[in-house]
Structure 1
Amino acid sequence: MDGIDVVNGVVGAVLGMLFAVLFQQPLHDAWYRLRRRSTSAIRSLGRQDESAPAWRAFSLGPLQTSALIVEGDGELPISPETVHVHVLDEEVTLPSDMAGWRDEIAAESERLQAEGRAPLWNGPRYAVESLDISRTALEERPEVHLRLRPTDYYTFLAAQQLDRRLPDGTTPRSRYLDPDEPLKAPAFLQCSLGVNIAVVTADDMLVVTQRSDRVRMAPGVWNSSVNEGLSRHIDSSGRNAPDLHAVARRGMREELSLEAHEYTLTLLAFVLDVDRRAWSGHFYARLQELKSTDLQARMSRGVADRWEHQTIDFVPFRPTTVVRYLLRDDRVHRWAPTAPALYHLALVHVFSRRTVERVEAQILRRL
């Protein structure tokens, strides 16, 4: 009997171990799933219906911006042939209770000139009347219709005072803008249209610039590789409408001393800075032969608009390094509004949305 008891004990122990190995983890997992579902069900009993705006500005964890990506996801480029720019004849005029602000700017410019200092050059610009998006009939590719009106730099500076009090106590922002309809705004508040370009060198280094402290708008912030505003004087030949790709090439030449044959250029998106009512065409440029050291050497021999930048960083163009750079403690709150969205879209264009968003999620979890 003692031998039988020993055998039974051994068999029981073996069966117990076998049962534990085969069924303990599945039972544990099943119990965990049941607890999670029960907890979720209990929590859902107290939840209310929620709604969220359809349009939300670009954000990445602690990095919050006012950049609204209106068209483009980075993966599907916007073809030059599907961008139609129309220039209307009537020039933008400010409301009577804002016209005096423009006069103040003109007077300031005259005072600066009288003191022997650099005046505010009142260059001819464009205001955005509207930007409409549709799709091509067969391929359903984006088609953009951009309607512009003539304006000038003084009007732009006056219209940038969106939170200045008007005689009735309102502000241009509260009177003319509805936060629930960010794409609707009068043209006189949208006197800023430009291009922003993410430039990557042949050795896979992303060019990141810091704006000079001497520029009037957004001094000292970190920005796109190239930022260029449209000029009626430079970018329109006769009565022809401006070409955004040509504006981008001009910016590449003036800010980085690069010629058109030295890079490829891709339009990724149209973006609106809803806080400043500034529109931008976001581009990606890839240098074909010039490495980061070559570009630095090129710029050391002269750049037309060198004074616009005070620092240039070269960041390895990989999702992990670029995202970490965007979120650095000394960068995260010092970005120009549209720059982070630009670099995100450039990463998506090269590495795919799935890869970039996976990397972003991993980095954000570790913050």
Structure 2
Amino acid sequence: MGGIDMVNGVAGAVIGMLFAVLFQQPLQDSWFRVRRRWFGAVRSLRFRAEEPGPSWTTFSLGPLRTPALIVEGDGETPIPAEGVHIQVLDDEARLPAEIAHWWDEIEAESTRLRAEGRTPIWNGQRYAVESFDISRTPLDERPEVRLRLRPTDYYTFLAAQQLDRRLPDGSTLRSRYLDPDHPLEAPAFLQCSLGVNIAVVTADDMLVVSRRSDRVRTAPGTWNSSVNEGVSRHIDSSGRSAPVLHAVARRGMREELSLEPHEHSLALLAFVLDVEKRQWSAHFYARLNELTHQGLRARLSRGVADRWEHQSIDYVPFRAATVARYLLHSDRIHRWAPVAPALFHLALVHVHGRATVERAEAQAVRRH
């Protein structure tokens, strides 16, 4: 029996070797082809399942989502004042005839408030954004921005803010006039808001964060930029001249924080559009030369021209990790004004550099 077992073993080994030589490589090749086709099919299905992403995406930081679209500027390279060209057109931005009565409703509400001895709605003179164009200088490729504006008023702005109010045919201003895939295209009457937002940092490196008053009509009670100021036709345009955004920023610093131009430096970082409300903002960074946060607090205690616009102010250490955690804090994350988080991010990038800021923000998101 032992001899027979040995013969069978040898025969089995020989047959196994022959099988390996004849069939192992073809089997391996077949298995490789099957795997390659399988993974290729899976990748193809995944690619087909994913919708093409938009070329324009709004600012987000982990779970913090905003409608702020950074149209021009990255924070690192300021936009020079001489690179901003503003033209004011003659004809006013007017509401379409079918919603002109919305303007009348706001005027009637203001009249009623005045009759009741309450604060009426002041119909200030504003600008509507007709178009926004971006180019580069031919030699050094510095940014050049061209804004075309039309005269308008605050009542037109409030009427056009009713983007989701139903029209007689069941449509809305949003569905009729706005295309999410082309966010920069909109009629002027829907873009009756142009202003500046400023991130102010004190001499001892504290970021000033303001909370909007409950008395304001737009985004009441939300946490916002250090300074927010709308461009006024009455104040910012002498005669027929176009407004200068750096001058508007200096006016905002004076009216909201009692700071004079010689007490700070200004850098224009970006132009940002709130795509939900169609509000344009020039984002600035301001550094106080000598005034610390304690000094600023003492200054504010002695009186501010527009104190009613803010109900409280926070002072946050201007470090990337600290500001990122502050933005994501549970009592803040859902209470930000639309363009404020993008402003603070750009200010951090301007001072600390993109790599440092993005590394700190990524760590804050992971720990959130």
TM-score, normalised with respect to structure 2: 0.88
Return closer, same or farther for 1:194/1:328 CA change in 2, 3 Å cut-off. Answer: same
Q: Which residue of 1 aligns with 2:127?
A: 126
Letter in 2 for 1:113: R
- What amino acid is aligned across from residue 122 of structure 2 in structure 1? W
Q: Where does residue 254 of structure 1 map in the other structure?
A: 255
Runs of 4+ in 1 over 4 A off after TM superposition: 39-43
- Deviation, structure 1 residue 46: 4.3
Tell me by how many angstroms 1:40 deviates: 8.6
3-state secondary structure, aligned to 2:300: helix
Matches within 5 A, 1:271-350: 271-350=272-351
Secondary structure of 2:133's counterpart equals strand
Structure whose CA Rg is larger: 2
- Counterpart position of 1:190: 191
Structure 1 CA distance, aligned partners of 2:152 and 2:343? 26
SS of equivalent to 1:52? coil
Unaligned runs of 5+ in 2: 1-37
What residue in structure 2 maps to residue 17 of structure 1?
Answer: none
Instruction: Specify the SS of the correspondent of 1:47.
Output: helix
The equivalent residue for 2:6 is: none
Partner of 1:155: 156
Distance 1:147 1:81 in 2: 16
Q: CA deviation at 1:48?
A: 1.5
Distance 1:40 1:95 in 2: 55
Aligned-pair identity (%) = 74
Distance in 1 separating the partners of 2:222 and 2:45 = 44
Name the Cα RMSD after superposition: 1.4
Match of 1:44 in 2: 43
Following superposition, the deviation at residue 41 of structure 1 comes to: 7.7
SS of residue paired to 1:251: helix
- Extract unaligned runs of 5+ from structure 1: 1-38
The 3 A distance-change label for structure 1 pair 177 and 247 is same
After the TM superposition, which residues 1-367 of structure 1 pair with which residues of structure 2 at under 5 Å, given as runs? 44=43, 46-49=45-48, 50=50, 51-367=52-368
Q: Distance in 1 between matches of 2:197 and 2:44?
A: 47
How far apart, CA to CA, are the structure 2 residues paired with 1:337 and 1:295? 26
Q: TM-score, normalised by structure 1?
A: 0.88
Deviations 1:53-86 (A, max 9, x none): 0000000011000000000000010000000000
Aligned partner letter, 1:93: R
In structure 1, the residue corresponding to 2:46 is in which secondary structure? coil
Aligned length: 330
Find the aligned partners of 1:228 and 1:156 in 2 and give their Cα distance.
Answer: 15
C-alpha offsets along residues 265-295 of structure 1, whole Å, 9 cap, x if unaligned?
Answer: 0000000000000000000000000000000
How far is 1:44 from its partner?
3.4
Rounded to whole Å, the distance in 2 between the matches of 1:122 and 1:362 is 46
SS of residue in 1 equivalent to 2:47: coil
